[in-house]
Amino acid sequence: MGKIRTPYLLLFPGFAFLFTFFILPIINLAQTSTQTKIAGGDTGQYEQTLHFRNYIDAFVENREQFGRSFLYAIISTLLALAIAYPLAYAIAFKSGKYKNLLLVLVVAPFFTSFLLRTVAWKQILGEEGFVVPTLRSLGIISQSTTLTSTSFAVVMGMTYNFLPFMTLPLFASIDRIDPRTLEASGDLYANGFTTFRRVTLPLSMPGVVAGTLLTFIPAAGDYVNASILGAPTTKMIGNVIESRFFKIVDYPTAAALSFTLMAAILILVTLYIRKAGTEELV
Amino acid sequence: MTQKLKDATIPTIPLGARIQRWVGRNLIRLYAIFAFTYLFIPVAYTFAFSFNDAGKSNLIWQAFTFKNWQNPCGAPEVCNALGNSIKIGFLATFFATILGTMIAFAIGRHNFKGRSSANLLIFLPMATPEIVLGASLLSLFLVFKINPGFWPTVIAHIVFCISFVVVTVKARIASLDPRLEQAAMDLYANEFETFRRVTLPLVAPGIAGAALLAFSLSFDDFIITNFNSGTLTTFPKFIYVSAARGIPAQANVIGSAMFFLALTLVIVGQLVNRRKVR
């Protein structure tokens, strides 16, 4: 009898906590999203009215930022994949006895606060940094072109910040590939490219799926890169939610936007997992 | 004679082709070097500018100095923020590790009704964008008239740390050899003794790793903290707020010091592990 109860006893404290501080808040956010302003009330006072138009209004008003969030998130996920895949491959197959050391080096930048690193990028790419004057004197960019406050800087920063999230799962699944399967493919007269396409890539798919999700989900909700490296024209949905909450004190719209973001991410992720065809996630 | 034969059979390869071949063979290594450069540029920049004698606004290189390293609390608000981050990090790690480890044992060791829903509940916080987690918690606190601040931030951090603890510890439990526990039982250890003397020591490295992960996630978190901390300043929040007018060089000192400290810990840990394996 005790044995049947054991797992539930072990689960209880943690799940009670998650229920109170994860599930309840989400339910509460759903309620908030349909509230309306009390007529004649103070700022920040709302009443429950089941006003579902909040969603339509919020979306229509901010569709540009929504589009930008998903566009930036998709581009930086693809860029991170393009950078991380060869890196993970090199660490798994070409690093010999330095494998563990290189793996530590992938995570090492994490030890410096990510905000410090993002601010560092801002200064490196900024007017006082060395990159812009060099590129200008080489004639690669015109005198009036800046690198910060552009969508380039935001996407670059996001790619940078989420790169380890991409590299680690990729490494985990590439490292599991038996090198003899690659040799076998070569023995069967496949060239390097065919071996990659028909053997390496399919075997590393779980890593690709996990890595792209771990990059895409935080990237779509991110607003730190956009506010440090971007400009008003590069605002993402995260910036809007933040300012609705803190500056405008418009909780219903912020809540409706949060829900729309979450729903959009869940739909995209579900479609993606179906398409990529893997259940092995965590 | 032999020399002549060699010359005849191995035609000299033109330099251009040789370079091309070398690049082709080492392309992936060059690529890796490029990727590591990208990863480390801002870390190097942060470190370099921790030696900048720049006063409050650390934007332009002025002069080299050790001053900032000798007096990392020279900008008092930096140390205050750091102190808060460390306190929150320890509390969140402590609770998240206990709660998460218990869940990991339940899921990893027992087959029970509702196990897949339990897995889903663990996966969901990781799949939720931080801004939604932060905003929803804040709106709950507002409903109950709880002012954002220290404890709300700790609670928020526990929420997102638990899942990562569960996943890490579960992986360790799954890699255990069940025969070790059977052996302990065969040697007349009861269930509790087996757990205390065999299972727990074997899972301990996983728990330690999970705690480290939780601490670093908590310490570096900005978005969720920003929503739930009110007027309380943490280290990332301090940097975000002061980014516009320039960050004091002491923040670079602390960032760089954390980097070297953590790197040393990880490398020493790996060396100790290697020795143990031998």
Which candidate in A111, A166, A191, A273 is best for mutational testing of the B interface (most B CBs within 10 A)? A111
- Comparing A18-27, A87-96, A174-183, B2-11, which segment has the lowest mean pLDDT? B2-11
pLDDT value of residue B6: 52
- Residue B254 in any domain: the answer is no
Range(s) of the domain holding residue B18: 13-67
pLDDT class of B246 with cuts at 50, 70, 90? confident
Which candidate in B132, B143, B168 is best for mutational testing of the A interface (most A CBs within 10 A)? B132
pLDDT value of residue B113: 85
Which conformational region is residue A77 in: left (phi greater than 0), alpha (psi within -120 to 50 degrees), or beta? Answer: alpha
pLDDT value of residue A160: 95
Residues B209 and B105 in one domain: yes
B109 forms bridges with which residues in the sheet? none
pLDDT value of residue A1: 40
pLDDT value of residue B25: 78
Between B194 and B61, name the one with better pLDDT.
B194
pLDDT, one tens digit per residue, over B156-209 is 999 999 999 999 999 889 888 888 888 888 888 888 888 888 888 989 989 998
pLDDT value of residue B9: 58
Residues B43 and B167 in one domain: no
Both tokens of A8, joined, read: 């539930």
Hey, where are the domains in chain A?
59-276
Closest Cβ opposite residue A21 in set B131, B137, B247: B137
pLDDT value of residue A277: 62
pLDDT at B103 over 50: yes
To the nearest whole number, what is the mean pLDDT of chain A?
A: 86
Residues B51 and B96 in one domain: no
Closest Cβ opposite residue B236 in set A100, A113, A221: A113
Between A276 and A265, name the one with better pLDDT.
A265
pLDDT value of residue A78: 96
- Residue B4 in any domain: the answer is no
Range from A114-118, A246-250, A266-270, B273-277 that averages highest in pLDDT = A114-118
- Comparing A71-75, B31-35, B69-73, which segment has the lowest mean pLDDT? B69-73
Residues B125 and B48 in one domain: no
- Residue B38 in any domain: the answer is yes
Residues B106 and B224 in one domain: yes
Which of B:90-119 have CB within 8 Å of A?
99-100, 102-103, 105-107, 109-110, 112, 115, 118
B189 touches chain A (CB under 8 A): no
Whether residue A113 and residue B239 make contact (CB cut-off 8 A), yes or no, is yes
Instruction: Indicate the number of domains in chain B.
Output: 2
Between B273 and B93, name the one with better pLDDT.
B93
In the chain, the amino acid numbered B93 is T
- Residue B268 in any domain: the answer is no
- Residue B30 in any domain: the answer is yes
Which of A:62-121 have CB within 8 Å of B?
83-84, 86-87, 89-91, 94, 100-102, 104-121
The mean per-residue pLDDT over the stretch A124-142 comes to 81
Residues B210 and B83 in one domain: yes
Residues B97 and B146 in one domain: yes
Virtual torsion, Cα A137, A143, A146, A151, nearest 10 deg? -100
pLDDT, one tens digit per residue, over A164-215 is 989 999 998 999 888 898 889 888 988 888 888 888 888 899 899 989 998 9
pLDDT value of residue A250: 83
For residue B13, count other CB atoms closer than 10 A to its CB: 11
pLDDT at B4 over 60: no
Between B85 and B23, name the one with better pLDDT.
B85
Whether residue B136 and residue A25 make contact (CB cut-off 8 A), yes or no, is yes
Residues B184 and B204 in one domain: yes
pLDDT value of residue B91: 97
* Closest to A168 (Cα-Cα) out of A85, A225, A98: A85
To the nearest whole number, what is the mean pLDDT of chain B?
A: 86
pLDDT at B3 over 60: no
Residues B204 and B112 in one domain: yes
* Closest to B222 (Cα-Cα) out of A241, A115, A169: A115
**C-beta of residue B235 within 8 angstroms of C-beta of residue B82:** yes
- Residue B253 in any domain: the answer is no
pLDDT at A267 over 50: yes
CA nearest to B120 within chain A: A282
Q: Which residues contact A166 (CB under 8 A, 6 or more apart)?
A: A77, A80, A81, A83, A84, A211, A212, A214, A215
Q: Containing H/E element for A191?
A: none
Closest Cβ opposite residue A14 in set B46, B102, B167: B102
* Closest to A82 (Cα-Cα) out of A183, A176, A211, A172: A211
Residues B158 and B199 in one domain: yes
pLDDT value of residue A281: 46
Whether residue B32 and residue A83 make contact (CB cut-off 8 A), yes or no, is no
The mean per-residue pLDDT over the stretch B249-274 comes to 86
pLDDT, one tens digit per residue, over B140-149 is 998 888 999 9
CA nearest to B153 within chain A: A21
> Looking at this predicted complex, what is its ipTM?
0.85
pLDDT at A44 over 70: no
Closest Cβ opposite residue B112 in set A8, A108, A221: A8
pLDDT value of residue B42: 92
Residue B93, min C-alpha distance to chain A (Å) = 14
pLDDT value of residue A179: 87
B158 touches chain A (CB under 8 A): yes
Closest Cβ opposite residue B162 in set A18, A108, A224: A18
Which candidate in A115, A163, A195, A227 is best for mutational testing of the B interface (most B CBs within 10 A)? A115
Residue A113, min C-alpha distance to chain B (Å) = 6
pLDDT value of residue B69: 87
Q: What CATH number does the domain containing B213 carry? A: 1.10.3720.10
CA B1 to chain centroid, in Å, comes to 64
Q: Containing H/E element for A35?
A: strand A35-37
* Closest to A179 (Cα-Cα) out of A200, A165, A198: A200
B200 touches chain A (CB under 8 A): no
Q: Which residues contact B189 (CB under 8 A, 6 or more apart)?
A: B197, B198
A11 touches chain B (CB under 8 A): yes
Closest Cβ opposite residue A112 in set B46, B59, B127: B46
The mean per-residue pLDDT over the stretch A7-24 comes to 92
The mean per-residue pLDDT over the stretch B111-136 comes to 88
Of B42, B67, B92, the position where a domain reaches its end is: B67
pLDDT, one tens digit per residue, over A215-235 is 999 999 999 999 999 888 889
Whether residue A94 and residue B32 make contact (CB cut-off 8 A), yes or no, is yes
pLDDT at A2 over 70: no
Whether residue A86 and residue B32 make contact (CB cut-off 8 A), yes or no, is yes
Share of chain B above pLDDT 70, in %: 94
pLDDT, one tens digit per residue, over A97-128 is 888 888 888 888 888 889 999 999 998 888 87
Closest Cβ opposite residue A24 in set B125, B127, B140: B140
The mean per-residue pLDDT over the stretch B225-239 comes to 92
Residues B60 and B91 in one domain: no
- Comparing A266-280, B78-92, B93-107, B240-254, which segment has the lowest mean pLDDT? A266-280
For domain A59-276, give the fold. Answer: MetI-like fold (1.10.3720)
pLDDT at A40 over 50: yes
Residues B229 and B106 in one domain: yes
pLDDT value of residue A71: 95
